[in-house]
Amino acid sequence: MNRSRSSNAWLREHVNDPYVQRARAEGYRSRASYKLLAMDDKDHLIRAGDVVVDLGAAPGGWSQVAAKRMQGRGRIIAVDLLEMVPLHGVTFVQGDFCEQEVLDVLENLLGGEKAGLVLSDMSPNISGVAACDQARGSHLAELALEFARNWLKPEGAFLVKVFQGQGFTDFLLEMRKTFNVVSARKPDASRDRSPEVYLLGRTLKE
């Protein structure tokens, strides 16, 4: 079966993407690594000795960045529905973060220790129905925010991918109710046409 024109165009774009080429040359697992690298350079999120939780981790680009920058000092726990090739210094939980049993496993691994940083690059499986995809993306962001409320240190940080559209303003308001400082980030590695934006919350409100 021949590929459709749209899939051929996507493949050409992907192969020629400078961040894809750079990731291959520099040994990163995905172009998404450069999103976190840029945001961490700006905001100094990854701190040696902290516990970092990486939600929606596969194939491991963000966990890889965190592990390199923490240099074995601290803990990284990664979660994804998809399989992830093991990374040194990263504990991986395979399962659906929407399911309570997966959350229970994650919380047991934390063992009562609060995280200094919660990352969420989770995305829904795209159906092509915009309203449905937007709602599912918002739900994932809300689940990640609820986790951050419960498991972040008071001075911790929460970085979450959200999609601009219906529900975005409501989620932004919830972020502002939760954190003292909320900022929006659009790193260069995030494609211009993509509606994704990253919200960064710092220091939980009492």
7 inside domain = no
Domain that holds residue 84: 29-204
The residues annotated as belonging to the active site are 161
96 has binding-site annotation: yes
34 inside domain = yes
77 inside domain = yes
Tally the domains of the chain.
Answer: 1
Could you report the per-residue pLDDT of 51-74, keeping only the tens digit for each? 999 999 999 999 999 999 999 999
How many Cα atoms are found within 13 Å in the side-chain-facing hemisphere of 49? Answer: 2
43 has binding-site annotation: no
| Alpha-carbon separation of residue 47 from 30, 72, 79, 81, 152 (angstroms) | 22, 11, 20, 26, 14
Could you report the per-residue pLDDT of 3-20, keeping only the tens digit for each? 455 455 445 555 578 889
42 inside domain = yes
17 inside domain = no
How far apart are the C-alpha atoms of 174 and 176, rounded to whole Å?
A: 5
145 inside domain = yes
- Residue pair 193/23 in contact (Cβ under 8 Å)? The answer is no
200 inside domain = yes
| Alpha-carbon separation of residue 115 from 6, 62, 155, 157, 187 (angstroms) | 41, 16, 10, 9, 24
- Written as tens digits, the pLDDT of the chain (206 aa) is 444 554 554 455 555 788 899 999 998 999 999 999 999 999 999 999 999 999 999 999 999 999 999 999 999 999 999 999 999 999 999 999 999 999 999 999 999 999 999 999 998 777 666 667 777 889 999 999 999 999 999 999 999 999 988 889 999 999 999 999 999 999 999 888 788 999 999 999 98
How far apart are the C-alpha atoms of 199 and 45, rounded to whole Å?
A: 13
User: How many percent of the chain have pLDDT more than 90?
Assistant: 77
Pick from 132, 179, 128: which is nearest to 157 by CA?
Answer: 179
Contacts for 60 with CB less than 8 Å, ≥ 6 apart: 29, 30, 78, 84, 85, 87, 90
50 has binding-site annotation: no
pTM recorded for the entire structure:
0.90
62 has binding-site annotation: yes
Question: CATH number, domain at 137?
Answer: 3.40.50.150
Q: Which residue has 């192969």 as its token pair?
A: 15
3 inside domain = no
